[in-house]
Structure 1
């Protein structure tokens, strides 16, 4: 393993800054820690509130990530209050957490790691603990202790498996005291601990032992190499066909977001002859279990038709749920409530891996963890057979009261959490405002536009504001059937399916009927009618496969009910769009699919539809100057109000979300009140 430490960045730096630097170096190496895993600390002299000298320990705060941690995320705890606990025989998790809160130098600091006592009981200044893949491969196999000894001899101390807490902390402290010459501690199923006089020495010692473990594993695998398993050059079934069916089945209670992986490494693992058994042993470490559940679901596709795939997946999920219920019944105590019985990982040999979560970040965490678990399993199998936590230990970790308590602290989910929306014409104007608003309320958004660069700017803004992978951008010409099909396939591959379509893309050709050219008429129909049809058809196909309903929202126009002079090509095509919406409401009702339309009027700000040419022509039609146009539209509505793209976005949010679940076939004006355009 590459030693990333460079003295320059932390030359003459404080111990805390060195600790932060150590974290960043560790976080850069995914085979050491993933998504908040790992812990480190350093002990330092300090002054208490009264100016008296005390020794403190800076320890990684609970929930922080080593890859991006900052000094403020290292609370300082008083060691003169921590160390006396070593003399105790036991301490409950609840008492320990409450006690540590009182040991903080600053009561407003983040909550210290659950492993604070473990670090505090070690008689070393700097301590580093990771869940490195190589060490887990050594401990998670049938040989366990013998394998570790073959690799390291007596240079490391083995500590039996315990859940994080007082018992593990005391066992680690005792092991260190009884073996003062040890180079490190290996926790069964829980990683590696090293130490030093400063963070650099602890890090160097860590990398040294991990490198030895990697070389040991590599040598063992070379001795047994029989060639990589072969996987098909093309998938048994296209993942875009499977994804919405799978998502629908997994979303019976709450919708989920999926992530798909068909990398060569994943397909190679899925082609293993021992896949069905090796994957059903358990997680590599209890920390992973909290994200991945105990086992993935392995599905052998027996049929390739959509209905056959649905039956195949439904039966497999039913067996998984029944097995989970048996596991809960066998290990639970009176009063415990069963968590959901859904897998977090679905493996389909010949196709790929799906992971699921409440959002893209959660699904990505599961994917990253299991990609490393695959490597750990492969290495452990080469070392004598993968083995891990017993069912009892796995249950204790999954139903650990401290973790269950965290679930009660989660904030209420937003209205569109777990939902997937595709918005056309979203690089500017109304489409951009709707994409932003849906994302603010929790949706994952596919931002599409003929202007691909503009779409990417909107998607990047959404990701920056709302989080990992919360939006993607696609260049889309809604009149091109192949591009439309590809866009919706991308939605299925990226997020698993679709819940909301906002069909917004449009143009506004101007001209009297007797002056219009045929190509102008045809282009208006192609974009303002056929474009809506193409994205509607693609949406309905996905929504029906999912079987969990959906919402289609059409940006129509005030001109549907009150057409304007010299706006014939636009008004006729938009009237057809409105009729399409009504037909979709009729045909989609039995599937829980709603279709509604918005009728905005004169949205100027940020709009690419209202070009300078269009403004000039509309002003000419009304006999006014271009400068007078905004005020003309404002004065003609009953509220005398300027209508903005954000106003339309609020109406779209209503139709997309839970407050409009009984509304379909509706037309909602967003025009300040144009009486000629009242729906009738």
Structure 2
């Protein structure tokens, strides 16, 4: 591992933050924190922390000594000065004289001594940073250091690698107790350059930001070099099928097997989004004949438990062409996993007094021999976090097994950390959005109605895939939505393009829960005079494309086994045909009945089918030129033409999007056609 320190960049950070009134100490603290945070071999997703002891002016205008420490949950890779709350240092140092302190009291004392009351909570390891006298203190969860110390003889190995340069601290849950133990280890030899915390990570110290940072790099490098010397072959491979099923074939099966039925609402599920990882290191790990031992031994550092749980689910190796067998085997494996988790919770909850409330028992990491691993989360972001941490575990456990034998903390310690309120607080307590964990596919998403629908579904918590023949338009709309919104090229009239699009969605998110089949175009002409090719062209887009999309979605939904929702954009032409619109209205009428047929044929699978019947929406169908021509032909202003309905209100793409969203949320509604036109009795269904 090499130092990324750059004098020019350090000076630039001082100058840039200085313009905002930030001193050089904090500017360099932020600079080196980012250097550490951007290296996934050191920290991941809110892990690790850093601090600097400096002086600031408080709200009374008085200069005071403070500890600026990383705020709880902030990401070191992107941190800025607001993520380093300043706490009065003398107040923190006096706490060392205490014999004991509860977590709640520790948090209250730290918050009571914030310079800015609006600052985020300081790190749970704030007191450790305060009790060590060095100006700059860095802490990471280096994969190499964890590979070195996560072994039965980890302390001896650490002593062999570092000699007297690093102090050793036995495992203890973070907080006041760990801070005291670490301070005692430092006092035993104040010459140490840092501390190795058993089963937890590494701290380094320095008089300036560069010294603390480069000591971290140096100490991690020593661990890497030790692990590389005399490294034996790792993980004899198990016997695997000659042909393994593909990621896109099994992802929906895994996703459905891990979904949890909602005990309060019939037909509702807690679903998970997936994130897939593979590669030589991952395959070496998941293919190991002894994977049921080393993968189930526990977490590499307690900080991971709230994101990955304490062990992954091991799936059977999926044979190509035997997906039905795989589905049954996976469901058995998940049931076993859930029972194991429930028993683990019951044992340990009784041990601590029985006052904990069990988290959901679903796995957050799945190992699939022959294929790779999946991270699971209620959003794509959370799934990526789980997958990133799982890959870090692969690296650390592989390193430990290559030089000895991996050993985690005890089950009791894992439980105490998983159900530790200060760790749970990192996840937040906000009520989940109604479509959290669900994946919605929207066609024609580069247009007005499709884009508005994708935005509405994303705001409701869904992960959205925006399909459009015009990929550039879909990408622009996806970028505007942000998050994990995915743009996928798709010609909905082409079966191969549709199949490829669904494969892309399944590969990215793991499956599909909602289809909004929206793409369409309006062909005109008197029905008795229109060329047959025009009629066939309209049927391809306005009927058969809906059928292709619905078939692809249903295939995935049935593999998942958690129901789903098919939503179609039909038109008022389907029930109230207008003159010269037969080429458009006829396939739309067929699509209206297609909706009801899907509702009839797949209701037993929990798959709902509904449609929105909209009229006069500014979109690719109803262009500005078309609106102008129609208005002039009727002797109306454009405003009067667009609001020519019973309510006298123009209907927008956003109104249609809200109708689709309503149908997606109504778990006991199917075969419904919702009219969104401001009121047109002639188009009302009866």
Tell me the TM-score normalised to structure 2 length.
0.93
Residues in 1 aligned to 2:475 and 2:426: alpha-carbon distance in whole angstroms: 36
Corresponding residue of 1:595: 609
Residues in 1 aligned to 2:218 and 2:3: alpha-carbon distance in whole angstroms: 8
Q: How far did residue 204 of structure 1 move?
A: 1.0
Q: How far did residue 55 of structure 1 move?
A: 1.3
Corresponding residue of 2:336: 319
Corresponding residue of 1:537: 551
Tell whether 2:368 aligns with 1:358.
no
Contact 1:302 1:312 in 2 (8 A): no
User: Which has the higher mean CA deviation after the structures are superposed, 341-350 or 248-257?
Assistant: 248-257
SS of 2:71's equivalent?
coil
User: How do 1:210-609 and structure 2 match up within 5 A?
Assistant: 210-221=220-231, 224-225=232-233, 236-253=244-261, 254-301=270-317, 305-333=322-350, 334-335=353-354, 336-404=356-424, 410-463=429-482, 467=483, 469=484, 471-604=485-618, 607-609=619-621
User: Which has the higher mean CA deviation after the structures are superposed, 426-435 or 333-342?
Assistant: 333-342
Residues in 2 aligned to 1:3 and 1:501: alpha-carbon distance in whole angstroms: 49
Corresponding residue of 2:630: 619
Residues 489 and 644 (structure 1), Cα distance of their counterparts in 2 relative to 1, 3 Å cut: same
Tell whether 2:192 aligns with 1:192.
no
Q: How far did residue 533 of structure 1 move?
A: 0.4
1:159 maps to which of 169, 182, 188: 169
Residues 266 and 609 (structure 1), Cα distance of their counterparts in 2 relative to 1, 3 Å cut: farther
Residues in 1 aligned to 2:165 and 2:272: alpha-carbon distance in whole angstroms: 46
CA distances 1:160-199 after superposition (whole Å, capped 9, x unpaired): 0011011100111111121112122100011111111111
SS of 1:631's equivalent?
helix
Residues in 1 aligned to 2:443 and 2:239: alpha-carbon distance in whole angstroms: 37
CA distances 1:27-83 after superposition (whole Å, capped 9, x unpaired): 111111000111111111234454444311111111111111110111111111111
Q: How far did residue 25 of structure 1 move?
A: 0.6
CA distances 1:81-139 after superposition (whole Å, capped 9, x unpaired): 11111122211111111111111122221111111100000011110011111110110
SS of 2:611's equivalent?
strand
CA distances 1:519-576 after superposition (whole Å, capped 9, x unpaired): 2111100010000000011111111222222111110001111111111110101000
Corresponding residue of 1:672: 678
Aligned length: 664
Corresponding residue of 1:24: 34
Corresponding residue of 2:147: 137
User: Which has the higher mean CA deviation after the structures are superposed, 293-302 or 209-218?
Assistant: 293-302
Q: How far did residue 326 of structure 1 move?
A: 2.7
Contact 1:432 1:458 in 2 (8 A): yes
Residues 639 and 329 (structure 1), Cα distance of their counterparts in 2 relative to 1, 3 Å cut: closer
Residues in 1 aligned to 2:672 and 2:359: alpha-carbon distance in whole angstroms: 39
2:160 maps to which of 132, 150, 166: 150
SS of 1:220's equivalent?
coil
Residues in 1 aligned to 2:152 and 2:201: alpha-carbon distance in whole angstroms: 17
Residues 61 and 24 (structure 1), Cα distance of their counterparts in 2 relative to 1, 3 Å cut: same
User: Which has the higher mean CA deviation after the structures are superposed, 485-494 or 76-85?
Assistant: 485-494
Residues 302 and 50 (structure 1), Cα distance of their counterparts in 2 relative to 1, 3 Å cut: closer
Aligned-residue RMSD, C-alpha: 2.2
Contact 2:235 2:290 in 1 (8 A): no
Contact 2:151 2:400 in 1 (8 A): yes
2:117 maps to which of 101, 104, 107: 107
Residues 3 and 640 (structure 1), Cα distance of their counterparts in 2 relative to 1, 3 Å cut: same
Residues in 2 aligned to 1:633 and 1:182: alpha-carbon distance in whole angstroms: 76
User: Which has the higher mean CA deviation after the structures are superposed, 23-32 or 148-157?
Assistant: 148-157
Residues in 1 aligned to 2:488 and 2:51: alpha-carbon distance in whole angstroms: 45
Corresponding residue of 2:652: 644
Contact 1:528 1:570 in 2 (8 A): yes
SS of 1:112's equivalent?
coil
Q: How far did residue 514 of structure 1 move?
A: 3.4
Structure 1 gaps, min length 5? none
SS of 1:556's equivalent?
strand
Residues in 1 aligned to 2:525 and 2:546: alpha-carbon distance in whole angstroms: 22
Corresponding residue of 1:10: 10
Residues in 2 aligned to 1:541 and 1:445: alpha-carbon distance in whole angstroms: 18
Q: How far did residue 213 of structure 1 move?
A: 1.2
Q: How far did residue 624 of structure 1 move?
A: 4.5
SS of 2:230's equivalent?
helix
Residues 231 and 36 (structure 1), Cα distance of their counterparts in 2 relative to 1, 3 Å cut: farther
SS of 2:358's equivalent?
coil
User: Which has the higher mean CA deviation after the structures are superposed, 443-452 or 589-598?
Assistant: 589-598
Contact 1:231 1:267 in 2 (8 A): no
Residues in 2 aligned to 1:460 and 1:359: alpha-carbon distance in whole angstroms: 17
Contact 1:508 1:614 in 2 (8 A): no
Contact 2:316 2:326 in 1 (8 A): no
Residues 193 and 628 (structure 1), Cα distance of their counterparts in 2 relative to 1, 3 Å cut: same
Residues 5 and 234 (structure 1), Cα distance of their counterparts in 2 relative to 1, 3 Å cut: farther
Q: How far did residue 267 of structure 1 move?
A: 2.0
User: Which has the higher mean CA deviation after the structures are superposed, 363-372 or 348-357?
Assistant: 348-357
Residues in 2 aligned to 1:552 and 1:379: alpha-carbon distance in whole angstroms: 48
Tell whether 2:207 aligns with 1:173.
no
Residues in 2 aligned to 1:219 and 1:573: alpha-carbon distance in whole angstroms: 70
Residues 306 and 151 (structure 1), Cα distance of their counterparts in 2 relative to 1, 3 Å cut: same
Q: How far did residue 273 of structure 1 move?
A: 2.9
Contact 2:240 2:369 in 1 (8 A): no
Residues 231 and 108 (structure 1), Cα distance of their counterparts in 2 relative to 1, 3 Å cut: farther
Q: How far did residue 225 of structure 1 move?
A: 4.1
